[in-house]
Structure 1
Amino acid sequence: MCFAARPDLGYPFVVAVLLVAPDDWLAVERRDLDLPPGWSTESLIAV
């Protein structure tokens, strides 16, 4: 999901939410599954 920038709410940038199943995340960490171009595991926050 992507949300438009909302500077009026304190988010002056586009916000993207990437939902990943635990098994898929393990595949990303093993480099068996790629993230979208320009994304890296270092830039993601797990919640």
Structure 2
Amino acid sequence: MVNNAHKHKQNEQSQLIFLEINGSILAETVHSHLGDMAESQTLERVGKLGV
């Protein structure tokens, strides 16, 4: 019974670590995607100005 509770706690911890890793990957992906979008919009504006 005690062993089972210990396993459950370990499982919860590994899920939290998994979520943290996924969250940081997601944040990086979103950040780089937004950066690309901002860059392309800036290039479009510069193109319209004819610089």
The TM-score normalised by the length of structure 2 is: 0.22
The structure with the largest alpha-carbon Rg is: 2
More helix by share: 2
The TM-score normalised by the length of structure 1 is: 0.24
* Bigger relative contact order (CA 8 A; separation at least 6): 1
